[in-house]
Amino acid sequence: MDNLQRILVHPNQTIRETISTIDRGAAGIALIVDKERRLIGTVSDGDVRRAILDAVDLNAPATKLLDYHSDAYREPTTAPVGTERAELLRLMQAKSIRQIPLLDKEGRVVDLVLLSDLIQQPSLPLSAVVMAGGYGTRLRPLTEKTPKPLLPVGDKPVLERIVKQLQEAGVTDIVITTYYQANKIVDYLGDGSRYGVQIRYALEEKPMGTAGALSLIKERLSTPFLVMNGDILTHLDFGALLDCHRESRAVMTMCVKQYSMQVPYSVVEVEGGHVVGLSEKPSFNLFINAGIYLLELHLQRLIPRGQPYDMTELVQQLLDAGERVACFPIREYWLDIGRLEDYQKACEDVTNKEF
């Protein structure tokens, strides 16, 4: 790997610094090493997201992230310098990993081999369903003549940005569900050939909610398949989402975004009619539904036909049945443009190159 130093962190560095290292290195991993560059442990993007779900202190030392390895990856997979490419590929496929640190005889990190170094990465085995049928009521008058997904953000509509992002991630089979001013969406995007993807459309005869239109899709989708709202700007790593879903062995993975809320008053703790404590303007960190999901194919059969149905109803149905629903925290940029103030922020973020 070129510039190995970019992915190395030391035990006394913080989790926040480790996250920056993973992002800067663009390899989906950071290597924790001692002063002699001997490997202490590896930290993956998945480890970071599990720690975020656990509300870990980002100022804690990097080694804290080692507690968040999934059971299958408690010990890092490494190989000696000089290992043949075929053996490295066999190890990656056997362990379902995309990186292997190469060590010398003293356990010092010499290199990092990526799966993309060994084979050409295939397209993500995902179909994507983009929900683009809403009225955009909260954005009126902007949506009186333009469907919300076609509102411009910078030099292109948000829905075009979603299509291009999916294509860049390797997702080439896309279904767009439409209702309000559907013909404008179809006319604008066409069959997707100019974006290097195949676009199909599912036309709702009446509003079907955030999941109801899944019952209209006749063509076979991949398993799992991606569902996302058509008014979201995000830099979400779809490959990391797929890895998380597979690792969790869930029937659905729901993406969430951390949301901080501060109460502007002094909060009184009451017990038995007496004041037992005070909290001055406390802040709460919550996880909100980010409008992006991965579903196993058989869940499509659970969607009732011909009636409105929301993804939140499906989630609750699965939970009531004791099914496993995984959670994937988005730590990248994410913004729902459904409100006027959020749409204005999206336009500003694109102008300021924050998105």
In this predicted model, what pLDDT tens digit does every residue of 89-129 receive, in sequence order? 999 888 888 899 999 999 999 999 998 888 876 678 899 99
What contacts 124, CB < 8 A, 6 or more positions away?
169, 170, 171, 238, 239, 242
Residue 355 has what pLDDT? 79
**4-118 and 127-351: identical CATH topology:** no
Per-residue pLDDT tens over the stretch 185-240: 999 999 999 999 999 999 998 989 999 999 999 888 988 999 999 999 999 999 99
Domain 127-351 sits in CATH at: 3.90.550.10
CB atoms within 10 A of CB 87: 12
Domain 4-118 CATH (choose: 3.30.565.10, 3.10.580.10, 1.10.3720.10, 3.40.50.880): 3.10.580.10
User: What is the C-alpha separation between 163 and 339, in angstroms, rounded?
Assistant: 21
Distance, in Å, from the CA atom of 138 to the CA atom of 147, rounded to the nearest integer, reads 12
> Of 222, 226, 204, which Cα lies nearest the Cα of 213?
204
Q: What is the pLDDT of residues 310-331, one digit of tens each?
A: 999 999 999 999 999 999 999 9
Report pTM.
0.86
Q: Structural domain boundaries of the chain?
A: 4-118, 127-351
Contact 60, 39 (CB under 8 A): no
